[in-house]
Amino acid sequence: MIGAWLFASLLVSASLTWLARRYALRRQLLDAPGERRAHTVPTPRGGGIGIVVVLVLAGVWLLGVVVDRVELAAMLAGLVMVAGVGLIDDHRPLSPFLRLGVQVVAAALLAAGTWHATREPILAGGAFVLAMALTNIWNFMDGIDGIATSQALLVALPIVVLEADAWSWWAAALAAATLGFLPFNFPKARIFLGDVGSGTLGFALAALLVHGLADAPLTHAWLWALPPSAFLVDAGLTLGRRVVRGERFWEPHSQHAYQAWARRLGSHVPVTCAYAGWTIASIVLMAWLGSRDRDTAQVSGFIAAWYIAGAGIWLSLQGKGVPRVKESTE
Buried b (16+ CB within 10 A) or exposed e, 247-260: bebeeebbbbbbbb
What's the predicted TM-score (pTM) here? 0.93
pLDDT value, residue 321? 43
Q: Give the separation between CA 285 and CA 291, rounded to whole angstroms.
A: 10
Which pLDDT belongs to residue 64? Answer: 84
Query: From CA 282, how far away is CA 62, in angstroms rounded?
Result: 29
- Per run of 10 residues, the mean pLDDT along the chain (length 330 residues) is 92 98 96 73 94 97 84 96 97 93 98 95 96 96 95 96 87 97 96 97 97 80 94 96 88 88 93 98 94 83 96 87 36
List, in order, residues 6 or more apart from 217 with CB less than 8 Å away: none
Between CA 121 and CA 128 the distance in angstroms is 11
What pLDDT sits at residue 36? 65
Instruction: Report DSSP letters for 276-295, one per residue.
Output: HHHHHHHHHHHHHHHTS---
Tell me the HSE value of 53 on the side-chain side, using a 13 A CA sphere.
19
User: How far out from the chain centre does Cα 264 lie?
Assistant: 25
| pLDDT value for 34 | 67
323 three-state secondary structure: coil
Give pLDDT, residue 328: 30
Q: What residue type is assigned to position 205 of the chain?
A: L
